[in-house]
Amino acid sequence: MTFIFKLPENGFFLSQISSQETNMSSNVPNSDSPRFSRRNAVKIATVAGGALASMRGVHAQTQSTEVIRIGLVGCGGRGTGALTQALSVNGSNIKVTAVADAFESNISRTLRAVEKMKDKVDLPKERQFHGLDAYKKVLDHCDLVILATPPGFRPYHFEAAINAGKHVFMEKPVCVDSAGARLVLEVAKKADEMNRKVVVGLQRHYQASYRETIKRVRDGMVGDIIGGQVYWNGSGIWYRKREAEMNEMQFQVHNWYHFNWLCGDHICEQHVHNIDVANWFLDMLPESAYGVGGKQNRVVGQPSEIYDHHAVNFSYPNGVRIASQCRQFPGGQNRVNEEFQGTKGFVKIGEITDYSGKVLWKYEGPTKSKSKDAGGTTNPYQVEHNELQAAIRNDTPLNNAYYGATSTFSAVLGRTATYSGKPQEYEKLLAADYNLMPDNLTWESTPPVVPDKDGNYPLPMPATYKLAKKMTS
């Protein structure tokens, strides 16, 4: 089998592909081009090999009107939002039949959000589960599961869902370390073998302005991309105080954003969107990363293990460098977007100009702020669920787990570069014994990091930072 690294028109990055199964357009680089080196082909074959092997034998099915039972794991704001969007798919016979969260108190948020959708809700008390192992119980009562817990759990919940034969919507990021990335890639292959559909909440792949922009890039309007900048610069992030009755494990899961074994730092949790766009537009993965970061403006009295700023240069196999910034402190100019420079022009999402400033193309279609157009909703958060359920009913291939894993791991690469203060290589780090998750995960377990006598957590220090291996306590 020959693998190529191509973005199909439907927005599935790092998709399955063989020369015998895919019509290769004239603008796809060949295996001898700098953009598609043999070394890069090996990398892609490693992470995506076998992705279509099972699909050859998938039999066509007529569209079904049977109920799709939906389970939700993670009843926070994003999980609850994803559930309401899943239940809002037009013309789909769907019901939410089970929910779970680590904390019983969080479930009420979800119940309130869906109470007006009574005809699509079947949630008796006995199918409202809580605890660290509650996700397993949801899988007994659904066909499609939404995974929206803290990211550190994602690889293991994804594995359980696919092993149970479920279709999956899972939020980004999908891992926080090397072990998690490898597991997601392994399970992605199994999802293909089992003909399970998977969507990852990197919703820019489902946003019309991005899809239309990348079409022009692929058509050669800007020539070859030779550089770019990606940003997630914001003013801050939430912090949850320790409640009196909480032990250390309960507090960390409650305040998960501030612990790397659960969150992966905000370069993974938020900036993964923009790093993913860079990989998507360049049609390849970074080979290495080098950067700086630190903790400068986190609020006193709110101990946190994560940095509040990162600046990383990602190097790609074709020699292109992408400059990356993410930041979480007030007072600066906020910026969340991506820009690219090509040999013929300048790319912003929704607009392409030449270097004289002449507009070559401008997106004039509906934006995500508009609820409807001739083709239905334009909100990418909704489109994700529309296309997932359509793939389930029509039995069409859909698996975002490959680019979900590789783009998330690109963010892990950037974090490791800033934490260590040293260049990091993608392939070496992916193969490394780097696992932040404890073997035993109960409310009584000791988390991977604990506070000092003053209540502060150790901060990753450049030049001394070491990759964490799996804990056994």
CATH number at residue 257: 3.30.360.10
The pLDDT of residue 135 is 98
Overall average pLDDT of the 92-114 stretch = 96
> Does 463 fall in a domain?
no
pLDDT value for 429: 98
Q: What CATH code is carried by the domain that includes residue 190?
A: 3.40.50.720
**55 belongs to a structural domain:** no
How far, in Å, are 108, 139, 159, 305 from residue 71 at the CA level?
15, 7, 15, 32
pLDDT given at position 350: 96
Residue 38: per-residue pLDDT: 31
> Distance between CA atoms of 355 and 344, rounded to whole angstroms?
7
Residue identified by tokens 């991506």 is 338
Could you tell me if residue 184 is inside a domain? yes
DSSP collapsed to 3 states, the chain:
CCECCCCCCCCCCCCCCECCCCCCCCCCCCCCCHHHCHHHHHHHHHHHCCCCHHHHHCCCCCCCCCCEEEEEECCCHHHHHHHHHHCCCCCCCEEEEEEEECCHHHHHHHHHHHCCCHHHECCCHHHEEECCCHHHHHHHHCCEEEECCCHHHHHHHHHHHHHCCCEEEECCCCCCCHHHHHHHHHHHHHHHHCCCCEEECCHHHHCHHHHHHHHHHHCCCCCCEEEEEEEEEECCCCCCCCCCCCCHHHHHHHCHHHCCCCCCCHHHHCCHHHHHHHHHHHCCCCCEEEEEEECCCCCCCCCCCCCCEEEEEEECCCCCEEEEEEEECCCCCCEEEEEEEECCCEEECCEEECCCCCEEEECCCCCCCCCCECCECCCHHHHHHHHHHHHHHHCCCCECHHHHHHHHHHHHHHHHHHHHCCCEEHHHHHHCCCCCCCCCCCCCCCCCCCCCCCCCCCCCCCCCCCCCCCCCC
Query: Is residue 317 a contact partner of residue 287, using CB atoms and an 8 Å limit?
Result: yes
pLDDT at 56: 30
Q: How far apart are CA 108 and CA 114, in angstroms?
A: 10
Average pLDDT value over all residues in the chain: 86
Weakest mean pLDDT among 142-151, 178-187, 192-201, 296-305:
296-305
Is residue 346 domain-shared with residue 388, that is, in the same domain? no
Same structural domain, 99 and 157: yes
- Give the least confident one: 101-105, 126-130, 264-268, 327-331: 327-331
Strand partners, 288: 315, 425
Give the total residue count for the chain.
473
Q: What is the pLDDT of residues 283-335, one digit of tens each?
A: 999 999 999 999 988 887 899 999 999 999 999 999 999 999 999 988 889 99
Q: Are 282 and 422 contained in the same domain?
A: yes
Dig out the tokens for 230 from the structure: 């990606």
- Share of residues in the chain with pLDDT > 90 (%): 78
Is 90 exceeded by the pLDDT of residue 100? Answer: yes
Q: What are the structure tokens assigned to 434, written together?
A: 């780097």
Same domain, 186 and 214: no
Are 395 and 277 members of one domain? no
Residue 254 sits in the same domain as residue 177: no
Cα–Cα distance between 288 and 416 in angstroms, integer? 11
Residue 439's pLDDT band (cuts 50, 70, 90): confident
Same domain as 385, residue 292: no
Domain assignment present for residue 469? The answer is no
229 part of a folded domain: yes
User: Is 464 part of a structural domain of the chain?
Assistant: no
**Which residues, at least 6 apart from 235, have a Cβ–Cβ distance to it below 8 Å?**
328, 329, 330, 331, 332, 334
pTM score of the predicted model = 0.87
pLDDT band at residue 371 using 50, 70 and 90 as cut-offs: very low
Query: Is residue 185's pLDDT more than 60?
Result: yes
CB contact set of 223 (below 8 Å; sequence gap of 6+): 342, 343, 344, 345
Handedness of CA 20, 26, 31, 32 (dihedral sign): positive
Split into its structural domains, the chain has a count of 2
Residue type, 110: T
Q: State whether 197 and 238 are in the same domain.
A: no
The answer to whether position 276 is within a domain reads yes
Q: Among 437, 420, 12, which Cα is nearest to 214's?
A: 12
Statement to judge: residues 235 and 361 lie in one domain:
yes
Average pLDDT of span 94-120 = 96
Strands 68-73 and 94-101, sheet pairing:
parallel
Per-residue pLDDT tens over the stretch 396-433:
999 999 999 999 999 999 999 999 999 999 999 999 99
Q: pLDDT band for position 470 (50/70/90)? A: low
- 240 and 338 housed in the same domain: yes
Q: Are residues 218 and 350 in the same domain?
A: yes
178 part of a folded domain = yes
What does the CA dihedral 397, 194, 160, 98 come to, rounded to 10 degrees?
70
Shared domain check, 343 and 381: no
Angle, vertex CA 330, rays to CA 329 and CA 332, nearest 5:
100
Question: What is the mean pLDDT of the segment spanning 151-179?
Answer: 98
pLDDT band at 351 (very low <50, low <70, confident <90, very high): very high
Give per-residue pLDDT as tens, 216-263.
Answer: 999 999 999 999 999 999 998 999 999 999 999 999 999 999 999 999
Asked whether residue 140 carries a pLDDT value surpassing 50, the answer given is yes
Q: In terms of residue numbers, what domain contains 212? A: 208-371+409-431
Of the listed ranges 80-89, 352-361, 372-381, the least confidently predicted one is: 372-381
